[in-house]
Structure 1
Amino acid sequence: KKHFLKEQHLKDFTFEAGRNYSCDFFNPYLDFNDFALKLPGFSYIPGITIPIISYWDGQPLRSHALRYVLKDRSTNEVLFVIIFTLLPRHSEGQKDESKNDDKSGQKDEDLD
């Protein structure tokens, strides 16, 4: 897991054009399946799980993003950033526009 912490491994690696690269993302304090924050327990206190979604009241989305930054340790240069944003689900009575990708031939009445 710490393969690229060795400088020689970094020098020996070359990204290939057209190849897809992927990785796993893990954080022991976040449960993405339940939108929960998991706080670790201590010797006599068990861990605590806080369901984040139950505290969200639809406030502006600018405060509902989680940002992770990967930096080079020696230069502090940012290599890439991952941002998770909490988005509201459409209410039950509303039509889900995202499921209707083919809108060709349909007129948008909101446009002049």
Structure 2
Amino acid sequence: MSDTVDAKQVQIVTAGISVFARYGYRRTSMDLIARTAGMSRPAVYQHFKNKQEVFRSVARRVADPVTAAAREAGEQARALPADDRLYLVPAVELDVLAESVGAESHAELFR
């Protein structure tokens, strides 16, 4: 796979993060993802079979850092009191999500 193809897929997934966070799965269309990515809908279909495939890639891109951060926090938490350990779980998730999604979409996520 070439660097250009990888870059286009990253561009589509990045657009997908924003669109799915803002509109949810049902209200998101391939056309909306394409417009947000700055490309045509047929160009998006060259990289992804359908909306579900884009969503899976978005979910992996968001979930992988959360999982890694949770593992790291779990290692650090072993020496902490129970109340501090309970705080770490949502703190890790919120930190990673805040970094993954643009500021304009934060309100949508919290709703």
Q: Which structure is higher in RCO with an 8 Å CA cutoff and minimum separation 6?
A: 2
Shorter-chain TM-score range = under 0.3
More strand by share: 1
Q: TM-score, normalised by structure 1?
A: 0.22
Q: TM-score, normalised by structure 2?
A: 0.22
Q: Indicate the structure (1 or 2) with the bigger Cα radius of gyration.
A: 1
